[in-house]
Amino acid sequence: MTPTRSLARAALSAVLAAALVGTSGCSWLRSKFGTENAYQRSVQNRPLEVPPGLDTPSTAGGVAIPEVSASPRASAPVEGPVPGGPGAAATVPAMDSFTLEDSLASAWRRIGLALGKIEGVTVDERAQLLNSYSVRYQGQAFLVRAEQVGEAVRVVALGADGRPLSGGAAARLLGLLKARLG
């Protein structure tokens, strides 16, 4: 054997030995120092312990349906023809505004429900932040708005220019609304 060949064999043997030690060294170190699954035994990753009785939310009041006229100040139903029904426009006086003894949020909700039940009214948009409804009635478009006035709420119809409307379809609709809301 020539010295070059024996030197090449020795170098190849050294490289193979280094590769063998290098690939087995990680597992040797892991098992020697016990770090293989240390993250699984850490205190931070323990499963969450939920106290008994708190693992399921209560659904006792989940399907409770509130009453439509939940307001304590709501009056009894008005006798006579149903507001918004046939012939109702002739029996209900027209007006430019009226007041409700109610909170602003409750009045806005009640106005929306009443508008939906009056025949011929189309509610285009609802704006709770402005407490108003954009409606169309008898060929006219306007806003029906609720405004806080002291302890009461004033309901008014506003035109496109923002001024209160005092006649026509808006006044008739306000009369129907007042009869519905009491």
What are the tens digits of pLDDT across the range 75-84?
434 344 444 4
Look up tokens 């129907």; give the residue. 176
pLDDT exceeds 90 at position 51: no
In degrees and rounded to multiples of 5, residue 7 shows phi and psi of -70, -40
pLDDT exceeds 60 at position 60: yes
Q: What percent of the chain has pLDDT over 90?
A: 26
What are the tens digits of pLDDT across the range 104-129?
999 999 999 999 999 999 999 999 88
pLDDT value at residue 181: 85
pLDDT value at residue 6: 85
pLDDT value at residue 79: 40
With CA atoms as reference, report the closest residue to 90 among 175, 6, 32: 175
Burial of 118 (0-12, 13-18, 19+ CB in 10 A): buried
pLDDT exceeds 60 at position 73: no
pTM over 0.75: no
pLDDT value at residue 91: 61
pLDDT value at residue 96: 82
With CA atoms as reference, report the closest residue to 99 among 177, 152, 165, 163: 152
